[in-house]
């Protein structure tokens, strides 16, 4: 069974001024897909704290998947992509492209998301929007590809194509 983590990036959530709803929505979606969520954090929109949480999830907890929610927009405090880029070793842009493309079906604002995705060691990290609808629509757009991606990260030698 794969292990996952969900990190919510929110100043108000971290200070207790707003209930985190997108993080728990991601936990439900991932667990419903048969992936065990063993790491949950809420951190403020501070690049060093986001980076620390990502490193803890990947390196200390040896998670297979880390999802973030929040901090992917255009406001000056939205620094999740920058923190993620500092910790990933290889890009995996298809997940972020699919999240944005799917989001455009619901709102033109999906194109504002700057979320990135990539790999640190054997951990796949994916940034999702902070809104509940953006996070849930985003995870459902990519969820079917995640088990295959995680198998490949773990060294599965099977062919990816169908012939």
Q: What percent of the chain has pLDDT over 90?
A: 93
> Mean pLDDT over residues 110-127, rounded?
97
Q: Which among 45, 37, 40, 38 is positioned nearest to 15, based on CA atoms?
A: 45
Q: Which residues pair with 65 in a beta bridge?
A: 4, 124
**Where are the chain's structural domains?**
3-153
User: Are the C-beta atoms of residues 99 and 138 closer than 8 Å to each other?
Assistant: yes
Res 163 pLDDT > 60: no
**Which numeric CATH code is attached to 3-153?**
3.40.980.10
Structure confidence at residue 156 (pLDDT): 74
Q: How confident is the model at residue 161 (pLDDT cuts 50, 70, 90)?
A: low
Structure confidence at residue 160 (pLDDT): 65
Express each pLDDT in 20-30 by its tens digit: 999 999 999 99
Res 110 pLDDT > 60: yes
Q: Which among 53, 48, 62, 125 is positioned nearest to 89, based on CA atoms?
A: 125
Q: How confident is the model at residue 162 (pLDDT cuts 50, 70, 90)?
A: low
Backbone angle region of 131, left / alpha / beta, with phi > 0 → left and psi within -120 to 50 → alpha: beta
> Mean pLDDT over residues 84-111, rounded?
97
Q: Which among 70, 56, 77 is positioned nearest to 9, based on CA atoms?
A: 70
pTM of structure: 0.96
């Amino acid at each position: 069974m794969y292990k996952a983590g969900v990190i919510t990036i929110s100043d108000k959530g971290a200070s207790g001024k707003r209930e985190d709803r997108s993080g728990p929505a991601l936990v439900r979606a991932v667990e419903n897909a048969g992936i065990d969520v063993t790491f949950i954090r809420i951190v403020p929109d501070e690049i060093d704290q986001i980076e620390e949480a990502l490193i803890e999830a990947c390196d200390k907890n040896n998670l297979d998947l880390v999802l973030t929610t929040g901090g992917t927009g255009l406001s000056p405090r939205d620094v999740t992509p920058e923190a993620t880029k500092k910790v990933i070793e290889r890009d995996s842009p298809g997940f972020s492209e699919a999240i944005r493309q799917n989001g455009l079906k619901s709102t033109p604002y999906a194109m504002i998301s700057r979320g990135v995705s990539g790999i640190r060691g054997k951990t796949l990290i994916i940034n999702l929007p902070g809104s509940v609808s953006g996070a849930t629509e985003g995870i459902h757009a990519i969820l079917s590809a995640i088990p295959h991606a995680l198998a490949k990260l773990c060294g599965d030698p099977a062919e990816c194509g169908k012939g």
